[in-house]
Amino acid sequence: MKMKVLSKKSIGALVALGLIVGTGSAVADTTTTPKPTASQKAEKKAAADLFKAAQSAYKSALAQFKSAMATYQAGVKAANATYKTAFDSAKATRDAAVAAATTAEAKSAAKSAFTSAVAAAKATRDSAIAALGGKPVAPVKPTK
C-alpha cells in the first residue's frame, strides 16, 4: 500500500481553515450601559456629602468619647486607690488591736471597728464613682 503524502499547500490550507473555524466569532456586546442622568448624579453626590459629614461628626464624637473615657477611668482609679488605702489602714489597725487584745470582747470590738471602717470606705468609693456619672458610651460608626 502506498501512503499518500500531503503537499505543503494542502497542509497550509488545513491549518488556516482550522484556525478560522476554531476561533469562533468574537463579537462584542453592542448594548451599552445607560449614562446616569443629572438627577442620579446629584443624588449620588448628595449621599456622598452626607456620608462625609457623618464621618466628620463621628470622628469628633470619637475624640470626645476617648477624652471622657480617660477622665472616667482616672476617677474610678483614684476612688479605688483611696478605698484600698482606707482598707489597708483599717486592716493594720485591726490586726494590731487583735494582737494586743487579751479578752474576747476586745478582739470583737476590734473586728467590729474594722467592719465599720470598711463599710465607710466602700460608701465613700461608691459615692465618688456615682459622682463621676455614667460610663461614657462610644459613638456609632456611620454606614454608607
pLDDT digits (tens, 9 = 90+) for 49-104: 999 999 999 999 999 999 999 999 999 999 999 999 999 999 999 999 999 988 99
**What residues make up the domain containing 94?**
59-128
Residue 45 is assigned to a structural domain of this protein = no
Q: What span, in angstroms and rounded, lies between the C-alpha atoms of 14 and 20?
A: 10
Residue 76 is assigned to a structural domain of this protein = yes
Residue 21 is assigned to a structural domain of this protein = no
Residue 44 is assigned to a structural domain of this protein = no
Band of residue 27 on the pLDDT scale cut at 50, 70, 90: low
Residue 94 is assigned to a structural domain of this protein = yes
Angle subtended at Cα 10 by Cα 8 and Cα 15, rounded to the nearest 5 degrees: 95
Domain count, the chain: 1
Sign of CA dihedral 74, 77, 79, 81: negative
Please state, in angstroms and as integers, the Cα–Cα distance from residue 105 to each residue in 89, 91, 109, 116, following that order: 22, 18, 6, 16
pTM over 0.75: no
